[in-house]
Structure 1
Amino acid sequence: MEMWDCYTWDRQKLDHQHPRGVPLAQGEYHLVVEIWTVNRRGEILLTQRHPDKPYGCLWEMSGGSVLAGETSREGASRELREEVGLMCPPEDLVYIGTVVRGWSIVDLYRFDHDFDVAALTLQPEEVVAARSVTREEFLTLASQKQIVPHVSLEFQLYEKKILSRNSQ
């Protein structure tokens, strides 16, 4: 059973853990990570969600819940490895920002990596396809409502940090 560390809204770690799939108590949060993988041409790696998941078949970036005992960066590194087979040392992740969504404290990272979509190893229960897109293609997919809604909002908020290899 997957376990999460519990936090307060202001990221103070509580003294207990929580099992995935059970609603969190009032005032409790867990950590989630999202990783925007961007190549040197500024293309973004998108993954298509499994149809059985919420927002099934929509496009997003890699990410997921941080497991109990992991740091945010360790969770992000693990999620990249599990979902698309990319090896990323935690220290290679560039912090973009944090948003609070529901009962989740979501840390956003950028991974500068010249990925080859054809060489990715997709986690079949999570991801059914992957593709690289330009900024313009991302915006077109978003306007066609083919991107997970919160992903489109995060792109609007953090576009410069997502696409700029110089924003550390």
Structure 2
Amino acid sequence: MEIIKLQIKGIYRDELTDAAGQLIYQSDWKSNTIVESCRIFLAKVMKNGGQALNGELGIQSLQVGIGNDKWDTDGTPLPTETQELLVDPEPVEITNLSIDYLDKSDQPVSDFTSRIQIRATLEAKEPAGFISYPLREFGLVGRFGNEDYLLNYVTHPVIHKDQLTTLTRTIRLYF
């Protein structure tokens, strides 16, 4: 599997002013290096943030949605970066998620790394109230303060999950 690191860019410039606030010197914008510990920090926020701030930060749930039944005949549309909501979402709450750090071989480890794996399980009889639930989309939902954010979004061909089957979805995020 090819791993493509998230492109995080940092730039800086310097300005020097005299006692009167007049600009003496201004450099051009220059690149700076985003170090590995920044990537680890992002993974820690996603994985452990909610524990640190009483559930106000980090991954909170995986939502699954029915999407659009037209996708079954017209084809599944590509996800867009501007997606904000799922169609009739059913959440798998944080208490039913397993979130682990991964090493470079994608094995769970206890040390902090820049990779996390989220495993969500929809047990038999979930989602409640459906004989068969047609899953066509999903997304991780995070929280900052009291506001929820869709963190990723996937559309896929329909999976019919009935009340006798269990679905385990594994998602890996690389920072």
- The normalised TM-score by structure 1 is 0.29
Bigger radius of gyration, 1 or 2?
2
- The normalised TM-score by structure 2 is 0.28
